Amino acid sequence: MTEKGSFGNNKFEVKRFKGEDDRSYEQRKRIVDKFAGVKLRLLVLSGKGGVGKSFVATNLAFTLSQMDYRVGLVDVDIHGPSIPKLMGLEGVKIEIKDNQIMPVRYTDGLEVISIGFFMKGDDSVIWRGPMKAGAIRQFLGDVAWGDIDMLVVDSPPGTGDEPLSVAQLLLGARGSIVVTTPQDLSVGNVGRSVTFSRTVGMPVIGAVENMSYMTCPHCGERIELFPGRGADTLYKEMGVPVIGRLPFKPEVVALADEGKLAVRDDDEFKNAFDGIAEKVIEYQRKIEGVRKKRE
């Protein structure tokens, strides 16, 4: 897929993939047109599971919505959707109106869709690539998002079908955030996500280092939980800045298990995500400036 035209008129040429049928091609074109006016499409990536990617996506989406942005949050982690649990939305029933899927309203400024809303209990999804790509196209094309400013996409770990499908569908103003923990294994894996993002033409805004440290509850000393060089390695080796470091707090883990967002109950996390959100907004304003210069 290639992009043509300018940011000013938001028009892009969507080229047909080899062997693509008419229905899939027309659906992709509709999705590109549908999100043409969105200020930023943000993909949240990680190289491996268990680093807190969905935790970052949910808290960041909420934080952006509190800064007067209308935000859509999409959970495309088809095999392990966790956003309904993290946001206390388990058991919510999806509504269909005028042949469109209605996203779940979390607050006035934040709407959410996840395959987890369509699953029951311990249901598992056993799909091959084309079926996953079709589900993602439906989430993006058949959901009545309304007039949103930003779309935050929680992708599954790695660089497989799901993030590739999203990258091929969301043209225009876009960027990614990569999430890692400090140990070398995690940082090494997330480097592949950086390479993936750049390969598909999606700039990397920065890295978030989760579980970066813990504060001793007795003496207040900062404890480094994991050995390794940390996310700073991404800046030194790949030019990716660290835009946030999140502590490990058992009480925040408990909040997540209860379906409560950390930024709504913990000042340290609120301040940290405010800083991350400011970096995202700074990036959005930068590309908005590029667009205006081209008009």
Three-class DSSP category at 227: coil
CA distance 36 to 12: 9
pLDDT tens string for the chain (295 positions)? 444 333 333 455 677 777 778 877 887 888 888 887 889 999 999 988 889 999 999 999 999 999 999 999 999 887 778 999 999 999 888 899 988 899 999 999 999 999 888 876 665 555 555 677 777 887 788 889 888 999 999 988 887 777 888 887 876 668 999 999 998 889 888 999 999 999 988 999 999 999 999 998 889 898 988 877 788 999 899 999 999 999 999 999 999 999 999 999 999 999 999 999 999 999 999 988 765 555 5
Strand partners, 209: 180, 245
* Residue 153 φ then ψ, to 5°: -115, 120
The token pair at 190 is 């997330």
Closest C-alpha among 177, 149, 162 to residue 69: 149
For the 38-294 domain, the top CATH level (class) is alpha beta
For the chain, domain boundaries = 38-294
CA distance 286 to 189: 29
